[in-house]
Amino acid sequence: MTGEPWKTLQQRWRNHGAQMLGVALVATLVAWACERTGWLKGVEHVAYDRALRAYTGGRGLSSNVVVVAIDQPTLTGISQDVQLRTNFGNWPYTRTLWARIVEELKAAGARAVLFDAVMDEQASDESTDLGFAQVLRETDLPFYVGMVANGTANPLPRADFQVPVPLAAPEAAPPSPEDTFPEDAPEEFEDGPETATPSLPLEALARALAFPARRTDDGQPLPLLQYWSNKEKRWLPRHPVLPTPALVGAVDGFGLVDTEADADGVMRGTRFVYSDGINTYATLPVRLVADLLGAKEVTLSGRALHLGERTWAVNADGSAALDFGGPLHERYPLVSLLVVLNDWLLRSEGKPVRLPADTFRGKVVVIGGTTPGINDIKATPFSSTEPGLAKQAAVVDTLLSGEFITRLPHGMELGITFLVALLSAVLLMTVRSTPLEVGWTLGLPVGLYVVAGVFLKTSHTHLLTAMPALAGMGASVAALAFNHLVANRETEFIRQTFHRFMEPKLVEQMIRSRQLPRLDGENKEISAFFSDIRGFSTFSEHFKEDPRQLVRILNTYLTTVSEALLREGGCLDKYIGDAVVCLFGAPMDQADHAVRACRGALAAKAAVEVLRVDFRQKGFPDVYTRIGVNSAVNFVGNFGSDQLFSYTAIGDGMNLAARLEGANKAYGSVIMIGPRTYELAKDHIEVRELDRVRVAGKTEAVTVYELLALKGQLPPELRRTVERYHEALALYRQARFADAVAVLEAEVARAPEDGPTGKLLERCREYLESPPVDFDGVANLEK
């Protein structure tokens, strides 16, 4: 943006920059306070969830993770099959079933298994636990089980990670049941061992459940396992619930499977490690992937998570949002648990399995419930009825080959919020456009939503929407209020400024239509009117002994001229002694400003003719008036000093209008108009082309005209005189001065009172006596 509009914006910034900064700062602080107190969380969650679905969904199936679903067909199929129900029971199934699943997944080439459930209760038949543990050791398939923490569990001692994970039972175990299932129930699953599983010391359990984790910076501490006690009115620690002892040392690791939902119950993010104040514990997906990557500990450093040689960006507090990529059924291959069990049966009988050979090969298998009957239905941004294992699958998939979604540092979020508020304030308080005010206020949240979505898609960054939107809209409302206040002040100022220079009804019309002038200036095309009394110095000498009479006469004259101009919608610019300056087309926009100026000039001329008759009768000097009218683009606004200023116009167009008024003397005309005025008003006026002139300081010649009457009102006698004048003017431009003189002399004899005819005749006679050098038919219009 260049030119005067840019200067106007700069001036408004200089005048109101402090207010703009103040509005932006206050709006930012209010939005920040609302965000910190949680008032915006609901709005932010809605915006984030929609952006996540719109910009990150539909990614397709993962190549890293397969879900084995405990679905409704599984529950129904096992409950209705007598043999399966006899061996595995109804939900929750015996550990024997999981042993069979592990065997099948191992045979199918699974990379590791994440069991999204806990095994913290011993089976009524302890042999099932021992049998399951034995299968885990024999298959050597990495198998990871969930654990929970609560406030009633006893704390474990500090884990010594230099000591190996303990074995819960001897390596030897009762024989495998493969040869007897499914027709006969396994003996060890029926009668149980002769001796119970030996108990483990607490130090050994601590070593089995805990996992090394630390921060390597001075950032926030690891999150605590804790809960709020209404009884004690404080946060109390939670500790892990111990798993079935038989599984300790048989499974490859335990991890926390807390829901980690937000306050509205929706799972959006996760943390990776927790502490109960004594030991550190990894979440189940982290525990699994740590082993796959050969990591011995979880390290958080600044905004980075480290597992072995791998690093992921996370938030400063060690959390991250999950990149679900879509609903569970669109992101991961789903295989019914019953299908896997049937494949085990087929494989044990030497028959071909039904699942494709690459279903599980090299992939992490997540086992969990997907039916409401399992009571593990949670909400995610993609669905309000999503299985809880969706979070575990998303974390595993991201740790293997993806990125988490993180927020910007809080300082940057505040900075962006301030910039949005400042942009809103500056834009609305400088441009002051009603369409912009409405469009910006309504479009700002939508724009921020789109930008946030693009950030999610391209950089996995959660750009806050609610806080910047609130700040921006708050700043916008404040800016609108400021603009309204300024507009009211400007309206009153305009009313006071222009009511003496324009007809009051036009001033009110200008205010009602909101066509308020830009008092700080603007470029616009207007028509300027200049008038002056011939020989005013001689006029005023008649009253040097009675100056009060001069003032009364001059006031009468100025009132007469002004009233004629005001009736045509003119704005009186100034009086300079006897001279009158009037603007048409400013401050109120007038598409027909040239026509109005011409009508005003003719009306002023007619009114002055009546006044001249009255003055002659009273013995007053003559007030013969010359008028110049010109249309051009001028700079219009308030000009002056701190002590005195007025609304006026400046520019070459104003200068030419003044020159035209003075040039009437050389041409014997009363009203002279410029070429642009003629171009705009020619369909409404009658004119005489006077000459082509060159203004002092300019090289280009312009055609000037004498304004004679409104269209169709020119008397026949004057029309004939104009035609003879044009005939002579054409001869004059051809330097045929003698021929021109002949035409003009004949017309002067017929109409001796026509000033332009006489003046052109004088010039032609002069050129006959003294021929001009390099004559081009253009007269020089001197200052």
Single residue among 710, 744, 771 that ends a domain in this structure: 710
Q: What's residue 516's pLDDT?
A: 52
Dist CA 489 CA 704 (whole Å): 43
Q: In terms of domains, do 616 and 665 share one?
A: yes
Single residue among 395, 416, 432 that ends a domain in this structure: 395
* Cβ 64 vs Cβ 58: under 8 Å: no
Q: What's residue 193's pLDDT?
A: 40
Residue 58 has pLDDT above 50, yes or no: yes
Q: In terms of domains, do 621 and 565 share one?
A: yes
Residue 278 has pLDDT above 80, yes or no: yes
Dist CA 1 CA 156 (whole Å): 70
Q: Provide mean pLDDT across the span 377-401.
A: 95
- The two beta strands, 625-640 and 671-673, are parallel
* Cβ 722 vs Cβ 709: under 8 Å: no
- The two beta strands, 406-407 and 461-462, are parallel
Q: In terms of domains, do 473 and 573 share one?
A: no
Q: What's residue 700's pLDDT?
A: 83
Q: In terms of domains, do 140 and 264 share one?
A: yes
Highest mean pLDDT: which range of 242-246, 516-520, 532-536: 242-246
Confidence of residue 638 (pLDDT cuts 50, 70, 90): confident
Show Cβ contacts of residue 339 under 8 Å, excluding neighbours closer than 6 positions: 354, 355
In a domain, 763, yes or no: yes
Q: Of 392 and 578, which is predicted with more confidence? A: 392
Residue 187 has pLDDT above 60, yes or no: no
Q: What's residue 477's pLDDT?
A: 92
Confidence of residue 521 (pLDDT cuts 50, 70, 90): confident
In a domain, 12, yes or no: yes
Q: In terms of domains, do 175 and 73 share one?
A: yes
Dist CA 357 CA 254 (whole Å): 29
Residue 501 has pLDDT above 60, yes or no: no
Q: What's residue 502's pLDDT?
A: 56
Q: Of 501 and 126, which is predicted with more confidence? A: 126
Dist CA 421 CA 415 (whole Å): 10
Residue 776 has pLDDT above 70, yes or no: yes
Confidence of residue 538 (pLDDT cuts 50, 70, 90): confident
Average pLDDT, the chain: 88
Residue 271 has pLDDT above 70, yes or no: yes
Tens digit of each residue's pLDDT (9 = 90 or more) over 363-373: 999 999 999 88
Q: How many helices (H) and strands (E) does the chain have?
A: 24, 31
The DSSP symbol for 108 reads T
**Locus of tokens 């010109």:** 630
Q: In terms of domains, do 352 and 469 share one?
A: no
Show Cβ contacts of residue 556 under 8 Å, excluding neighbours closer than 6 positions: 611
Q: Phi first, then psi: what are they for 362, rounded to 5°?
A: 70, 15
The DSSP symbol for 279 reads -
Residue 294 has pLDDT above 70, yes or no: yes
In a domain, 555, yes or no: yes
- CA-wise closest residue to 747 among 708, 721, 719: 721
Q: Of 372 and 287, which is predicted with more confidence? A: 287
The amino acid sitting at 82 is V
Q: Provide mean pLDDT across the span 725-745.
A: 95
In a domain, 442, yes or no: yes
Dist CA 429 CA 13 (whole Å): 8
Tens digit of each residue's pLDDT (9 = 90 or more) over 153-186: 999 999 998 877 776 544 444 444 443 444 443 3
Dist CA 457 CA 446 (whole Å): 17
Terminal-to-terminal C-alpha distance of the chain: 37
Q: Which residues pair with 532 in a beta bridge?
A: 626
Q: In terms of domains, do 345 and 391 share one?
A: yes
Single residue among 491, 508, 532 that ends a domain in this structure: 491
pTM of the complete model beyond 0.75: no
Q: In terms of domains, do 22 and 87 share one?
A: no
State the total domains in the chain. Answer: 4
Q: In terms of domains, do 428 and 391 share one?
A: no
Residue 191 has pLDDT above 60, yes or no: no
User: Cβ of 411: how many Cβ atoms within 10 Å?
Assistant: 8
* Cβ 262 vs Cβ 223: under 8 Å: no
Q: In terms of domains, do 467 and 586 share one?
A: no
* Cβ 658 vs Cβ 530: under 8 Å: yes
Q: In terms of domains, do 375 and 433 share one?
A: no
CATH of the domain at 540: 3.30.70.1230
Residue 730 has pLDDT above 80, yes or no: yes
In a domain, 400, yes or no: no
Parent domain of 101: 65-189+238-270+331-395
Q: In terms of domains, do 262 and 155 share one?
A: yes
* Cβ 389 vs Cβ 372: under 8 Å: no
